[in-house]
Amino acid sequence: MPNGARPADALNGWAQQIGTKVGIPVVAVQAYGYAELVLTRTQPACHLSWTTIAAIAFVESGHGSANGAVLGVDGSVSPPIYGLPLDGKGGRQLIADSDQGTLDGDTTYDRAVGPLQFIPATWNSYKVDADNNGVADPNDIDDASLTAATYLCQGGRDMSRAQSWWEAILSYNAVQPYAQKVFAAANDYGQRSRS
């Protein structure tokens, strides 16, 4: 891998085939597949599949297309994706600003950031620079996917076990209908990618 090259680019052929089958942008499929590959090497007992990361990204941001954002060929989303303020209204959690607005541009409340919608405290605890550009950026699908994978596999989880899978998804967002949407999307991607 040339220094500074995006490692996920090595998955281009596979990602082109899968992306066509499942209707996900190739650059996103590369990021999800790369996250699975890294976790297979670093935490093999986790058994995390790219379909789970893809499903979370679909539910959270339509694979980086929320609020009119566009996913670039380098994996970055533009403009950045910010969730609603976590101000305790409309069923949202109440989370006061934890990052002085550095990641989310909000100095009053935290907001979820990027295609996988990380709250700043979680991002800062788990962040990974997956594309080797020197910056761990929640608005980059490569970094966000590998960070999500690392987060989901924490604590020795085995994602091939149903109870661990549900536990991981609910730790990401503790709302049962959310977890159901992620399950349905992951299942759909798995079936369609094998057809």
Give 138-178 pLDDT, tens digit per residue. Answer: 999 999 999 999 999 999 999 999 999 999 999 999 889 99
Beta bridge partners of 85: 111
* 3-class DSSP assignment, residue 87: strand
Q: Percent of the chain, pLDDT > 70?
A: 98
Best CA proximity match to 169, nearest among 145, 152, 189: 152
Note the pLDDT of residue 1.
42
- Per the CB < 8 A criterion, the answer to whether 185 and 169 are in contact is no
4-39 core/surface letters (b: 16 or more CB in 10 A; e: else): eebbbbebeeebeebbeebebbbbbbbbbbbbbbbb
Confidence of residue 11 (pLDDT cuts 50, 70, 90): confident
**Number of residues that this document lists for the chain:** 195
